[in-house]
Amino acid sequence: MDLQTQKNRISELHSLLNQYNYEYYVLDTPTVPDAEYDRLMKELIDIEGQFPELKTADSPSQRVGGGVLEGFEKVEHRTPMLSLGNAFNAQDLRDFDRRIRQIVGDDFSYVCELKIDGLAVSLRYQDGIFVQGATRGDGSIGEDITANLKTIGSIPLRLKEPVSLEVRGEAFMPKRSFEALNKVKAEKGEEAFANPRNAAAGSLRQLDPKIAASRNLDVFLYGIAGVERDTVTSHSEGLNWLDTLGFKTNKERTKCPNIDSVIDFVESWGEKRPNLPYEIDGIVIKVDSLTQQDRLGTTAKSPRWAIAYKFPAEEVVTTLKDIELNVGRTGVITPTAILEPVKVAGTTVSRASLHNEDLIREKDIRLGDQVVVKKAGDIIPEVVNVLVERRTGEEQEFKMPTHCPECESELVRFEDEVALRCINPKCPAQIREGLIHFVSRGAMNIEGLGEKVISQLFAEKLIVDVADIYKLQREQLIGLERMGEKSIQKLLSAIEASKENSLEKLLFGLGIRHVGAKAAKTLAQYFENMDRLAVATVEELTAINEIGEKMADSVVTYFSKEEVQELLQELKTVSVNMEYKGPKLVAMEASDSFFAGKTIVLTGKLEQLNRNEAKERIEALGGNVAGSVSKKTDLVIAGEDAGSKLKKAQDLGIEIWNEERMIEELTK
């Protein structure tokens, strides 16, 4: 194809990928499967490889790019990033309100927003293109972290309007990402992050953007620092405008006519905040009118028109009764504090991770100590410190063992790790934890095989490896605790059903080091069956997007083991599926299917196929199944009792099929 044709195709790919990215990261309503997004991204990367002159800084392919940085350049903020004054109680808020009224009178309103506990960032756009991102620093000078901010999917590289502006926001790590990151760190024997805020800040200051990309960060934009046109008259209007430009703002905001409604908002979120998927540490209150903000002005450090109400950090005192040692599936020994049960942030806490021996020494934690406990990031129970002044002399120092508490093997501490590790591959605790992982929801998802049941089966020597799960018989289970006829039947049925899982579930369940759920799916989709993957070379593996050398080495090492080959043969013997069942890469490229490249919406009740079956079959033929009807919809398939989606399709003149017509096309 000529250069102009490729240029036009790149423009189309930019538009599609930016839209899909916006739907996934900002709206949280993806309209295409991951495989379709990956296919389009691969096409874009291939074209840019052939025509490097067409690669632009705002290309979706450039989110994670470039080598490791040597350091961060300094950035002088055009508009200072001021800090906010703090309020700690209702009276502080009323004092703030009184000061506002003294200057602007009584005719004004507030905007209340959640105070995200992350890292303040500034983003600069030129003609709609993201050109620079920086940390707050000291408020006047920050650091250029553009490469790392590009890895955050919710930050648009190109806006929906070619406007030049600078916006401010908070980059943060969602609770789920924080828990997953610390779990990986524990398995590697590394020190865990104390809270999501520290994790986010540490991630954005990595010199290698690939590390930042792996941390699954997010962002909420909360203000405009400078813009080329003067069309916004209030803070709330500004946030709404940011939404239309493609930015992600926090929707849990409200306008308040007076300080009483502000206090009501603050109190309500003090109770609701544990249910949020991200961490907040307060509420930000701002005067809405920009004219009134200008009139109120700023001090040297903070604006007079805004204040941050800070939630109190709940800390309680309890007794540390014992320290229990747990052996993870990778052999890491994790000490856990056993506490006198105490209520913290709404839940009863009786255990808290102590992470490693160094932390116990650093905090001088002893058995019988009175300790201060809080939830780090309102999520994970943590021992803050010891109340040394309350010691009676009966407290006992704790010493980490030299041998594994489960198998008696000598523990080792690798040079680059803070954790002790058992390296005996036959350690019962590691095997048990591996079995628990295998049946977990993200892996083989065998309902009824929870941690307690697995531990019981393992203790009774009814299962030794994962293949034994598929050999369980009713007679073996009938005498076990909490195992009646109905429970046994349900469990055996769930085990049988799991044999049909797609390959990626099995791969993740096997617990190959460095291979998470996403990587397992990538490998399964690429190789399509276990036999092909088992003989793959490092070169073949690293040629796949998202598979690095460390993961490739781990995969090759895993499949080279004789015991692994024997296990796979056992799983085959009991008929566990070894094939990938999702949309195949080759099928996604098919051009002879009617559905290929089309956006399809399913609505109403289907009789012959359920909704998921229809979706999977359409996607396997290259179609994109969306959740809502728009001008971009190519086809609507309407079952019985189809409602508003059908009407909208009719209004827009979109082609409509019934289920019979869909089945006819699917079976061609």
The domain covering 590-666 belongs, at the CATH homologous superfamily level, to: BRCT domain (3.40.50.10190)
Q: By C-alpha distance, which of 304, 314, 382, 406 is closest to 83?
A: 304
pLDDT band at 261 (very low <50, low <70, confident <90, very high): very high
Of 115, 150, 188, 286, which one is the catalytic site residue?
A: 115
Q: Grade residue 590 by pLDDT with cuts at 50, 70 and 90.
A: very low
Q: Tell me: pLDDT of 289 over 90.
A: yes
For residue 224, name the pLDDT band (cuts at 50, 70, 90): very high
Residues 6+ apart with CB under 8 A from 19: none
Of 355, 338, 340, nearest in space to 400 by CA? 355
User: Over the chain, what is the mean pLDDT?
Assistant: 88
In the chain, ranges of CATH 1.10.287.610 domains = 3-62
Burial of 244 (0-12, 13-18, 19+ CB in 10 A): exposed
What is the per-residue pLDDT across 471-511, written as a single tens digit (0 to 9) for each? 999 988 887 877 888 889 999 999 999 999 999 999 999 99
Sign of the CA dihedral running 253, 257, 263, 264: negative
For the chain, helix, strand, coil in percent to 5 are 40, 20, 40
403 CA to centre of own chain = 36
What CATH number does the domain located at 428-498 have? 1.10.150.20
| pLDDT at residue 225 greater than cutoff 60 | yes
Kindly tell me if the per-residue pLDDT of 567 is higher than 90: yes
CATH topology classification for 316-397: OB fold (Dihydrolipoamide Acetyltransferase, E2P) (2.40.50)
Cα separation of 29 and 627, whole Å?
Answer: 8
> pLDDT confidence of 378, banded at 50, 70, 90?
low
Alpha carbon distance 200, 217 (integer Å)? 7
More confident residue, 236 or 651: 236
Task: Spell out a b/e string for 366-396, using b for 16 or more CB atoms within 10 Å of the CB, else e.
Answer: bbebbbebbbbbbbbbbbeebeeeeeeeebe
**Is the pLDDT confidence value at 135 over 80?**
yes
CATH number of 3-62: 1.10.287.610
Q: Is the pTM of this model over 0.85?
A: no
- Report residue 167's pLDDT band, with 50, 70 and 90 as the boundaries: very high
pLDDT of residue 304: 93
d(C-alpha 193, C-alpha 206), whole Å: 14
Q: Is 505 a catalytic residue?
A: no
For the segment 596-619, the average pLDDT, to the nearest whole number, is 81
The pLDDT tens digits for 206-216 are 888 888 888 99
Domain 85-310: give its CATH code. 3.30.470.30
Residues of the chain with CATH 3.40.50.10190: 590-666
Q: Which fold has domain 503-573?
A: DNA polymerase; domain 1 (1.10.150)
Query: What is the rounded average pLDDT of the residues 199-221?
Result: 89
pLDDT band for 586, please (50, 70, 90 cuts).
very low
**149, 103 contact by CB (below 8 A):** no
Percentage of residues of the chain with pLDDT beyond 90: 48
Whether the pLDDT of residue 649 is over 70: the answer is yes
